[in-house]
Amino acid sequence: MTVEDYLSKIIQRDGVAHITLIDPASQKPEESVRLAIAAAQGGTDAIMLGGSTDAGGQLLDITAKMIKEKVKLPIILFPGNTSGFTTSADCVLFMSLLNSRDPHYIVGNQVQGAYTLYKVGMESIPMAYLVCEPGGTVGWVGDVKLLPRKKPELAAAYALTGKYFGMRYTYLEAGSGAESALPPEMIATVKHILKENVLIVGGGIRDGKTAAICAKAGADIIVTGTAIEKAGNAKELTAEIVQGAKAGKKA
C-alpha cells in the first residue's frame, strides 16, 4: 500500500491522522530514534523527517535508517531543499512553497531533485506548502511572503491555486515552534475550498486541546514536532495530541 493510501484510510476511519515531525538536525540520531519510538507508542500514524537548516545529507540518511530498524510506521520526507532527500524513507512530500518570493523554493530545488526521484522511483505526494504568520525559521529561510492570520481568504486562494495545479495535499504552516497554532477560521476557510484534498496543519500545536480545535476546524492531518521533541514524556504527550485530534474531529 502506498503511504498516501495508508493516510487516506486513517483519515476515512478516524477523521484525522497525526504525523510526528522529527528534525534530524535537532538531536543525535539515537535521540531521534527514541522520539520516534515514543511517538509510535503514543499512537502517531507516521514519522516525518525534515527541517529548514542542516536537516539533510548523511545525518538524515543515518537517522532514517535507524528509525526504520525500530519503528514500523511510514517515514515521510519533508525536504527543505535537495539535501533533504534519502532513499532510506518511504515517501517524499514533493512540495512547492507557493508563497515564497524565491523561485528556488517554488520550483528550483524541485527541478534539481526531480530526476533523482524518477530514477529511484520513490513514492511522492504533490503538495502546496503555505507558510503563514509568524512563519518561524522556514519563513525566513524560504523568503516567504507570510500569509496573514487575519486573511484566511488569501490562504484559501493559494490553496486553491495548488489544487488547480494538481497538488493533492496542502500544508498550512505557522512555522515550527510558533507561539500559537493557526486560527480555526483560517483552517476552516481553507478546508472548505479544498474539499476532498488533504489539508495538513502544523506549527505551534502543543496539546490535545489545540489539536482538537484544529481537527474540528477541518485539518485532515495534524503535525507536531517541537512539543514532542521537548516533552519530558514524549509518549504521553503524543497520546494526548493524537486522542485530542481524533476526539475533536468527532465532536
Task: Write out the binding residues for sn-glycerol 1-phosphate.
Answer: 171-177, 203-204, 225-226
- Minimum separation from the CB atom of position 161 to ligand 1GP (A): 20
Helices 29-41/57-70 angle, 10° precision: 40
Q: Which residues within the stretch 200-219 sit at the binding site for ligand 1GP (CB under 6 A)? A: 202-205
Which one, 194 or 223, has the nearer CB to ligand 1GP?
223
Quick one: CA dihedral 86, 64, 140, 225, positive or negative? positive
Binding residue count for ligand 1GP, defined by CB under 6 A: 14
Which one, 24 or 204, has the nearer CB to ligand 1GP?
204
Are 68 and 75 a contacting pair, CB within 8 Å?
Answer: yes
- Beta strands 221-224; 198-202: pairing state: parallel
Half-sphere exposure of 184 toward its Cβ, with a 13 Å CA cutoff? 12
Residue nearest to ligand 1GP (CB): 202
Cα(60)–Cα(48) distance, rounded to whole angstroms?
11
44 part of the interface to ligand 1GP, by CB under 6 A:
no
- Minimum separation from the CB atom of position 175 to ligand 1GP (A): 7
76 part of the interface to ligand 1GP, by CB under 6 A:
no
Out of 21, 71, 211, 214, which residue is the one contacting ligand 1GP (CB under 6 A)? 21
Are 52 and 141 a contacting pair, CB within 8 Å?
Answer: yes
Q: Find where cell 525559521 sits.
A: 137
Query: Residue 152: is the preceding peptide bond cis (ω within 30°)?
Result: no
Candidates 221, 219, 224, 251; CA nearest to 239 is: 224
Give binding residues for Mg(2+) as ranges: 23, 52
DSSP 145: -
Q: Which residues within the stretch 149-208 sit at the binding site for ligand 1GP (CB under 6 A)? A: 173, 176-178, 202-205
Which one, 204 or 244, has the nearer CB to ligand 1GP?
204
C-alpha cell recorded at residue 75: 517515514
- Minimum separation from the CB atom of position 176 to ligand 1GP (A): 4
Out of 162, 218, 225, 248, which residue is the one contacting ligand 1GP (CB under 6 A)? 225
Give the binding site for ligand 1GP (CB under 6 A): 21, 173, 176-178, 202-205, 223-227
